[in-house]
Structure 1
């Protein structure tokens, strides 16, 4: 019977598309992973991968084996890990992906309390503004907005995000107070370009009574990072349309002020994502519970929706 470690090397390499990625996850060398897979191929008498200098792809036999053993092997690993954790504290490396500015502002401040509660867990957090494949890249969880909810994933909403117009009080001083989104055309705009597709974001603002209107600014600066937009707005360069989580600290401090209070654009939820496994690793389970608890106690949903 093939070794479970050899099968694990095969599954991880197939899921991640390279021996190097599998090696990082398994804490082995790429040479060791390659050797284990070669031994597995020799035992089975089947070539599992087509190897080239550019890519690693499954053969027909490799695809059949992955379909047969991928799920059961993952379930076995979960069961073993769950049994081992029953009588001890959650432990191990906790790999989480999150947006750069959001993670720094809202997750890092929770870290001390989390580590005091779970000292055997080692956070390995990636701060990156990109769409990640949580399962394919081996993350335990992810936090962000707009992630594709693939089969086998769960999303828990932390709050619904609104886009609001803000500016430095000094920039607004001496200028006519905007009463309607159409008034924004007379003001300098710090506008945002999507880092995903390069397009300039266009927003339609809505008021509580249901009236909607396009928000069109006179472009002065173009950035692809909301944190940089906050900084530019505080320098008095113009009006920025920002997700509320980025604007909240500066609105609270008075460094920024709302423009057109009562108007906002819906930007969807920001959520905590994790695999939909019956037997989640204890480190993932306690992290999910801790984040939901802390965001609820700190009133995050209310804060980003109504300030």
Structure 2
């Protein structure tokens, strides 16, 4: 078989991937124990070999070109395959390792995922995390994320979705607000109350409130007295301070309900939920650290949140 890659070229591929991940030749050189000129020369050799520019260079940072991004995605998978193959043969890798980049919706991250990560790292201490908490859908290719967790699955056939749990919705308000504005007794009463609404970053639309009436699923548009953009948890703060009614996830407010800080409303029309899922690229090879986190989160979250009484 013809040998197309020698040891020098394989080293150049590793340095190229390191520079792409750190967005700096200097940082890549420090991580590899080399000088920046050596990293720059390695990347230059690749660019000559390929006949394309891999990076756009500036005085402070470097950024992958479109060709560089495509090449990086393939090189990263190839090097990961080689490391896993070597580990399987030598038995060297007994645990997942490396950097995991995850994007997740901020309330789900704060309440459900972040509390679990220290437990995961106790099991797999060689894994590091880079966490993005936002309510937007990320671009896996352009932004180089390994996983995302979302309450709505993007309509993208190149992504895999694995459900974590069904998060129950609940309508709440503070006792102070209810003493001032009255307790709603029916869905029709909601239009006469101050309502707190979240604006979806992807569409700019409000999220309809969801109820169940005589076994039928009903979505209700409520007029917002307050609207929150980007930060979903801002609505919870407003509800706690007596600003109005809020439909949110039970896992966010379960401690408020247990303490009486918030009160559940119209439970006879409740029971609706939204599924939260792990989203990740459909690739031939998924890194061991990614597979380990997927199975860990499914195992931990499958039974839903543990209530304060348990």
Q: Into which bin does the TM-score normalised by the smaller protein fall?
A: 0.7 to 0.9
Aligned twin of 1:287: 293
Q: Which runs of 5 or more structure 1 residues have no equivalent in the other structure?
A: 14-18
Distance 1:81 1:26 in 2: 25
Deviations 1:284-304 (A, max 9, x none): 1211111111112xx21898x
Instruction: Note the C-alpha offset of 1:84.
Output: 4.2
Alpha-carbon contact 1:168-1:235 (below 8 Å) kept: yes
Alignment root-mean-square deviation, CA: 3.8
Aligned twin of 2:79: 77
TM-score, with normalisation over the residues of structure 2? 0.74
Out of 189, 202, 220, the residue aligned to residue 225 of structure 2 is 220
Matches within 5 A, 1:1-307: 1=4, 3-6=9-12, 23=23, 28=28, 35-44=41-50, 46-48=51-53, 71=74, 73-86=75-88, 87=91, 88-148=94-154, 150-173=156-179, 176-203=182-209, 205-210=211-216, 212=218, 214-217=220-223, 219-224=224-229, 225-264=231-270, 268-296=274-302, 299-300=303-304
Instruction: Note the C-alpha offset of 1:132.
Output: 1.0
Distance 2:84 2:166 in 1: 33
Instruction: Note the C-alpha offset of 1:261.
Output: 1.4
1:49/1:90 CA distance change after superposition, 3 Å = closer
Instruction: Note the C-alpha offset of 1:120.
Output: 2.0
More displaced stretch, 169-178 vs 116-125 = 169-178
Count of residues in correspondence between the two structures: 287
TM-score, with normalisation over the residues of structure 1? 0.75
**What SS is found at the alignment partner of 1:300?**
coil
Alpha-carbon contact 2:166-2:304 (below 8 Å) kept: no
1:235/1:32 CA distance change after superposition, 3 Å = farther
Alpha-carbon contact 2:106-2:232 (below 8 Å) kept: no
Q: Which runs of 5 or more structure 2 residues have no equivalent in the other structure?
A: 30-35
